[in-house]
Amino acid sequence: MLTFIVVVHFSLKMSKYSVSERISIVKAYYSSNNSPIAAQRKFATEHKLKTTGPSAITIKNVIEQFQRTGSVDVSTLQRFLQNFAFRLRHVIAIDDKHIEHFIN
């Protein structure tokens, strides 16, 4: 008999940016020759921020989500499912004699 144990780590933190701000991030990124740093500066300028705009990591995450789903909306269910899929790290398949450990 084969038993699967799935160990999952995920986060349901709220998005710091509204949908309209995330749209601005996407527009800034594509109008800046796909440069996260240039998009960061452009976003900060357009939104009259005294500090820099969203981090390069945040911009990359928004762009990845947009490319993957065609949306920048982060509903609770959508966020849960995305985090579940992306945070899945270990699948341990256990049968009678040995353990196989696969890392995503």
Give, in degrees to the nearest 5, the angle at Cα 28 between 24 and 32: 175
How many domains, in total, are found in the chain? Answer: 1
The Cα–Cα gap between 65 and 81 comes to 12
- Span 80-100, mean pLDDT? 56
85 is a domain residue: no
Print the domain residue range for 47: 1-71
67 is a domain residue: yes
98 is a domain residue: no
Which residues are bridge partners to 94 per DSSP? 3, 99
44 is a domain residue: yes
80 is a domain residue: no
Q: Mind listing the pLDDT tens digit for each residue in 23-58?
A: 999 999 999 999 999 999 999 999 999 888 899 999
93 is a domain residue: no
Write down the pLDDT at residue 74. Answer: 73
CA distances from 45 to 14, 22, 24, 103 (A): 24, 15, 11, 42
What pTM was computed for the model?
Answer: 0.60
25 is a domain residue: yes
Category of 15 on φ-ψ map: left (φ > 0), alpha (ψ -120 to 50) or beta: beta
